[in-house]
């Protein structure tokens, strides 16, 4: 053991083994690239080992040393990178050059050639396949050391052949073997590193695969310890201290009642070797329970025995909660569907019913099973409405408030309103129709009734509008008629100057004017604007008073039947208006009867409720006295019923009437807060029903009719009268008539002129005769102004306007003197005398 050569060889072998440690620590792991600082450090360490090898040489001769640096550097070039090898070559070469001696040049050359050959061999490895083999490593050693033998020629000449003779063969025999052994050792370690790297990469991929799963995945050994788990496991159980690996179920879950169940399941898998599925509860770190579905399966070892238990754990808490919620929603929708009032349905492409809510039985009489599969068209009362429904659906994709009639099971019809839309699949293909249908029979009937009432209201408004027109015309018409009548009376008073023919002409003029005045009064009655003198009366007595006249009016061929109701309620109205109503209705009945026939007049008490009033727009609830006039005439066509109360509407031939009779009746009834209805059919006669409000007061005793006093036709006087009239013709006529009776007349065409005359006239003014409506000032205001300076002045108002206009101006009150236009000269004279004598 004291042999220096043997000691050097042992030291060299130890240093070569150090290279293996360097490779284990600093070599490339699985081929992954290293950073430059690490490569430089590795090269420096290799260089240091090479220097250490040279510090333990095998001495041969003075200045000539042999060691295993060529083995080291060749293998370094083969297994390390170029940076590491070149750095090691540089350090080793510098050190050998530093040692000097006869073999310095040879030493540097062998260092360089060994490392470079190793690098060159490494570069050609991509052309080879498989791992480093022993022959390949041995070949590398032969090449490196054959070059080393050649480098011996760099020794001093006298030393070349002796060195070759003694060392060439041992170098070529021993050093390649040492290179092969060292390379094989490093190749084995390289293979191990690559295998470990591949296994780690596979493990990383497998772990990444497991971690990507949203489910909890794990593997346990047969002792119940976790050997593998994914990130979902760690996250669910909040394991922040290195994961579950190496831990037991008790350590993770705690000592709970559920852990023993987990362990029992593991034992079952190990003992039976069968996969099991468990629906269980899992406790989270906060103590909360979760619903989990766990599949546990055996993992067998190489001998076929169960070596591990694998598990797939799915947290189904949210899914089961969603399922419960879905079931609850389905139950709510089912109850809603079954309890809904409207009918929900769905049809297929051909229009056959696929779904229909149970409410179809309540609304239409059909049970669900009776309608499913049937074409929905079968239930439409009219196929044209089904076609219209499909057309609107095709045009817009939906329909809203589509109305049609549906035939119920019992054959009756009902109105329905449908909202529906088209159903399409994901590709846009037509799949059917779904909708909701509502029974709107009552609503439809109400709307039809509303339309009918609106039509009645329009007719009423039309009559009202014509009435306002008639009232507006009355003023000017009365003025003109007053002029005609007044001057005709004046001419007739001077009858001594006219012969019989002229007098006859004047009487014709007077008659025409009076007939025109009568037409005007009818217009005013229609417009409900004539001056009335109402009083409480018994309608039966009023009818009794006019029966004789009515029988003469209708003729002998027509029977007049009078059917009074005993205990009749009282009414409050002008008796003359009752006469007008009956006279017009009797005349209308007479004209409707050809030849013989009957007219019946009846009275009755009626009390109307809100239901009746909803169907009759003019009616109102309360107590009414009903006056019915029925005839057996030809009747009125339905298209004429809405127009019969319009003024001047008539079915009579020209010259047989003005058409104001029924319009007058309508106006009088409305003026007294009543209403009138008519029913008629062609060939079945006509019935007019007049509803007059009942009056709660008592009927006064009927006064005896006083004997008419003999009054001079044209009373005279000598008083002074201030006559105010904005219509010049009436002013001149009034002045002429009154002056002809002996009065002093002060005429004024305007209120301002009347005030001036009143202030300037020195004598007494006994009467103010004034128009009511005048420009600038009303007659009432004028009377008040003059009364301030002439107390006790009597006033007589005259107007051609209708009563409602006069009332608006406060004229028609108790004790106020008024005469309406048109008036005759006698009527004016008599009224003036009456006021002056009062």
Model confidence over 213-230: pLDDT tens digits? 888 888 888 888 888 888
- Buried-exposed string 354-377: b where 16+ CB fall within 10 A, e elsewhere: eebbebbbebbebeeeebeeeebb
Report percent pLDDT > 90 for the chain.
9
Taking phi over 0 as left and psi of -120 to 50 as alpha, with beta for the rest, 351 belongs to left
- C-beta neighbour count of 283 within 10 angstroms: 16
pLDDT of residue 32: 55
- The pLDDT of residue 625 is 93
| pLDDT exceeds 80 at position 726 | yes
Which residues sit opposite 597 in a β-bridge?
558
pLDDT of residue 736 exceeding 70? yes
The mean-pLDDT minimum among 17-26, 205-214, 433-442, 713-722 falls in: 17-26
User: Mean pLDDT over residues 781-806, rounded?
Assistant: 79
Q: How many CA atoms lie within 13 A of 284 on its CB side?
A: 13
SS3 content of the chain, % helix, strand, coil (to 5): 55, 20, 25
**pLDDT attached to residue 240:** 62
Given its phi and psi angles, is residue 628 left (phi above 0), alpha (psi -120 to 50 degrees) or beta? Answer: beta
pLDDT (mean) for 112-124: 88
Residue 17: closest CA among 70, 53, 65, 47: 53
Distance CA 14, CA 3 (A): 17
pLDDT-derived band at 460 (thresholds 50, 70, 90) equals: low
Please give the C-alpha separations between residue 824 and each of 371, 733, 812, in angstroms, as whole numbers.
Answer: 84, 10, 21
Beta carbons within 10 angstroms of residue 753's beta carbon = 13
pLDDT per residue as tens digits for the range 325-348: 888 787 776 776 666 778 888 889
Measured N-to-C along each axis, helices 69-79 and 82-99 cross at an angle, to the nearest 10 degrees, of 160
Q: Give yes or no for a contact between 775 and 725, defined as CB atoms under 8 angstroms apart.
A: no
**Is residue 119 predicted with pLDDT exceeding 50?**
yes
pLDDT digits (tens, 9 = 90+) for 49-66: 778 777 766 555 444 455
Q: What is the mean pLDDT of residues 149-157?
A: 88
Q: How far apart are CA 584 and CA 575, in angstroms?
A: 15
Does residue 698 register a pLDDT over 80?
no
Structure tokens belonging to residue 264: 């029992």
Average pLDDT (716-725) is 90
CA 834/CA 832 separation, integer angstroms: 5
pLDDT at 811: 54
Structure tokens at 395: 């045009």
Q: Give 530's pLDDT tier (boundaries 50, 70, 90).
A: low
Confirm if 350 and 324 have CB atoms less than 8 A apart.
Answer: no
* pLDDT, position 749: 92
Q: Is it the case that residue 172 has pLDDT exceeding 90? A: no
Separation CA 651–CA 640 (nearest Å): 9
pLDDT for 807: 54
Among 89-103, 547-561, 758-772, which is the least confidently predicted range? Answer: 547-561
Interatomic CA distance for residues 180 and 621, integer angstroms: 129
Residue 774 structure tokens? 């005048």
- Per the structure block, which two tokens stand in for 308? 């591990």
Q: Which of 417, 409, 335 is nearest to 367 (CA)?
A: 409
The pLDDT value given to residue 727:
83
pLDDT at 2 over 70: no
In the prediction, which pLDDT does 469 show?
Answer: 63
Report yes or no: 532 and 802 within 8 Å, Cβ to Cβ: no
Indicate the pLDDT class of residue 690, thresholds 50, 70 and 90.
very high
CA distance 175 to 45: 23
> Which stretch of DSSP H or E encloses residue 393?
helix 383-396
- Please, which residues bridge with residue 601 across strands? 562, 629
Provide mean pLDDT across the span 626-643.
Answer: 80
pLDDT of residue 724 exceeding 90: yes
DSSP summary character for residue 380 = B
Least confident stretch, 207-221, 372-386, 411-425, 764-778: 207-221
pLDDT reading at 147 higher than 60: yes
Q: Given pLDDT bands bounded at 50, 70 and 90, which one contains residue 617?
A: low
Is the Cβ–Cβ distance between 587 and 661 less than 8 Å? Answer: yes
Closest CA to 148 of 115, 125, 99, 186: 115
**Structure-model confidence comparison of residues 375 and 175, the more confident one:** 375
Confidence grade of residue 608 (pLDDT, cut at 50, 70, 90) = confident
Per-residue model confidence (pLDDT) at position 656: 42
Label residue 636 by pLDDT band (50, 70, 90).
Answer: confident
Calculate mean pLDDT across residues 670-684: 84
CA distances from 742 to 115, 328, 719, 794 (A): 168, 107, 8, 18
- Give me 204's structure tokens: 């990383």
pLDDT of 771 higher than 70:
yes
The two three-digit tokens of residue 501, written as one number: 């023919």
Q: pLDDT-derived band of residue 723, with 50, 70 and 90 as boundaries?
A: very high
Confidence label for 263 from pLDDT (cuts 50, 70 and 90): confident
- Give me the DSSP letters along 286-348: TS-EEEEEEEEEEEE-TTSSEEEEEEEEEE-HHHHHHHHHHHHHHHHHHHHHHH-SSEEEEE-
pLDDT on residue 707: 40
Give buried/exposed letters for 137-159 (b at 16+ CB in 10 A, else e): bbebbbbbbbbbbebbebbeeeb
Band (258; pLDDT cuts 50, 70, 90) = confident
Rounded average pLDDT over 355-368: 82
Q: How many CB atoms lie within 10 A of CB 762?
A: 4
**How confident is the model at residue 242, as a pLDDT?**
61
Instruction: In whole angstroms, give the CA distance from residue 269 to residue 771.
Output: 123
Report cis status (omega within 30 of 0) of the bond before 822: yes
Kindly tell me if the per-residue pLDDT of 700 is higher than 90: no
pLDDT of residue 20 exceeding 60? no
User: Can you give the pLDDT at residue 568?
Assistant: 93
HSE value, Cβ hemisphere, 13 Å, CA-based, for 70: 29
Got the DSSP string for 197-215? HHHHHHHHHHHHHHHH-SS
Give φ, ψ of 235 to 5 degrees.
-70, -40
Task: Tell me what the pLDDT averaged over the chain comes to.
Answer: 78
- The arithmetic mean of pLDDT across residues 542-559, rounded, is 81
What pLDDT does residue 524 have? 56
How many other C-beta atoms are found inside a 10 Å radius of the C-beta of residue 10?
Answer: 12
The average pLDDT across 418-426 equals 88
């Amino acid at each position: 053991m004291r042999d220096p050569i043997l000691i050097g060889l042992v030291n060299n072998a130890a240093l070569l083994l150090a290279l293996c440690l360097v490779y284990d620590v600093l070599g490339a792991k699985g081929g992954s690239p290293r950073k430059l600082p690490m490569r430089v450090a590795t090269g420096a360490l290799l260089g240091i080992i090479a220097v250490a090898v040279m510090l333990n040489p095998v001495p041969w001769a003075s200045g000539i040393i042999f060691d295993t640096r060529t083995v080291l550097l060749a293998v370094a070039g083969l297994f390390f990178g170029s940076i590491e090898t070149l750095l090691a070559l540089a350090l080793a070469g510098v050190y050998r050059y530093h040692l000097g001696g006869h073999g310095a040049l040879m030493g540097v050359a062998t260092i360089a050639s060994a490392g470079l050959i190793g690098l060159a061999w490494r570069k050609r490895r991509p052309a080879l396949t498989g791992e480093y083999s022993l022959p390949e490593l041995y070949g590398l050693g032969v090449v490196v050391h054959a070059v080393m033998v050649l480098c011996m020629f760099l020794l001093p000449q006298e030393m070349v052949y002796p060195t070759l003779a003694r060392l060439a063969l041992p170098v070529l025999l021993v050093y390649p073997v040492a290179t092969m052994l060292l390379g094989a050792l490093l190749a084995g370690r390289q293979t191990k590193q690559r295998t470990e790297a591949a296994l780690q990469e596979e493990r990383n991929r497998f772990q990444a695969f497991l971690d990507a799963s949203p489910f909890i995945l794990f593997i346990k050994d047969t002792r119940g310890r976790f050997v593998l788990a994914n990130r979902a496991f760690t996250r669910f159980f909040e394991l922040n201290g290195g994961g579950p690996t190496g831990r037991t179920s008790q350590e993770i879950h705690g000592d709970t009642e559920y852990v023993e169940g987990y362990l029992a399941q593991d034992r079952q898998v190990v003992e039976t070797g069968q996969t099991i599925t468990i629906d269980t509860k899992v406790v989270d770190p906060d103590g909360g329970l979760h619903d989990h579905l766990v599949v546990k399966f055996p993992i067998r070892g190489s001998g076929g025995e169960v070596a591990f238990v694998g598990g797939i754990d799915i947290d189904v808490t949210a899914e089961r909660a969603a399922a419960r919620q879905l079931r609850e929603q389905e139950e709510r929708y089912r109850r809603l569907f079954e309890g809904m009032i409207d009918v929900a349905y769905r049809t297929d492409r051909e229009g056959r019913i696929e779904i229909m809510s149970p409410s179809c039985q309540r609304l239409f009489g059909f049970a669900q099973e009776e309608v499913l599969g049937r074409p929905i068209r079968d239930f439409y009362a009219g196929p044209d409405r089904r076609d219209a429904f499909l057309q609107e659906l095709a045009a817009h994709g939906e329909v809203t408030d589509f109305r049609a009639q549906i035939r119920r099971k019992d054959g009756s019809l009902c109105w329905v309103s449908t909202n529906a839309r088209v159903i399409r699949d994901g590709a846009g293909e037509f799949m059917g129709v779904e909708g909701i249908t509502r029974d709107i029979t009552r609503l439809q009937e109400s709307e039809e009734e509303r339309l009918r009432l609106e039509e009645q209201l329009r007719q009423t408004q039309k009559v009202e509008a014509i009435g306002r027109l008639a009232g507006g015309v009355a003023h000017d018409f009365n003025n003109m008629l007053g002029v005609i009548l007044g001057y005709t009376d004046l001419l007739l008073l001077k009858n001594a100057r006219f012969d019989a023919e002229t007098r006859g002409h004047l009487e014709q003029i007077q008659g025409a004017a009076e007939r025109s005045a009568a037409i005007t009064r009818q217009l005013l009655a229609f417009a409900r604007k004539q001056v009335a003198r109402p009083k409480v009366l018994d309608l039966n007595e009023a009818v009794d008073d006019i029966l004789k006249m009515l029988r003469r009016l209708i003729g002998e061929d027509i029977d007049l039947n009078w059917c009074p109701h005993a205990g009749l309620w009282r009414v409050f109205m002008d008796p003359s208006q009752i006469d007008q109503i009956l006279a017009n209705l009797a005349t209308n009945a007479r004209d409707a009867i050809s030849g013989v026939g009957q007219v019946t007049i009846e009275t009755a008490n009626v009390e109307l409720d809100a239901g009746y009033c909803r169907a009759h727009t003019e009616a109102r609830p309360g107590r009414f006295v009903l006056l019915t006039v029925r005839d057996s005439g030809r009747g009125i066509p339905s298209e004429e019923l809405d127009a019969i109360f319009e003024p001047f509407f008539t079915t009579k031939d020209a010259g047989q009437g003005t058409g104001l009779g029924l319009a007058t009746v309508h106006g009088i009834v409305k003026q007294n807060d009543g209403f009138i209805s008519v029913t008629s059919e062609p060939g079945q006669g006509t019935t007019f029903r007049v509803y007059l409000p009942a009056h709660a007061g008592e009927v006064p005793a009927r006064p005896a009719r006083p004997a008419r006093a003999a009054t001079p036709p044209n009373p005279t006087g000598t008083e002074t009268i201030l006559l105010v009239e904005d219509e010049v013709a009436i002013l001149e006529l009034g002045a002429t008539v009154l002056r002809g009776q002996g009065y002093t007349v002060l005429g004024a065409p305007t209120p301002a002129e009347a005030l001036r005359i009143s202030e300037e006239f020195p004598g007494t003014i006994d009467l103010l005769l004034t128009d009511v409506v005048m420009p600038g000032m009303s007659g009432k205001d004028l009377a008040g102004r003059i009364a301030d300076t002439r107390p006790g002045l009597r006033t007589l108002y005259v107007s051609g306007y209708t009563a409602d206009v006069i009332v608006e101006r406060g004229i028609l009150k108790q004790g106020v003197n008024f005469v309406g236009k048109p008036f005759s000269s006698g009527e004016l004279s008599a009224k003036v005398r009456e006021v002056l004598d009062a």
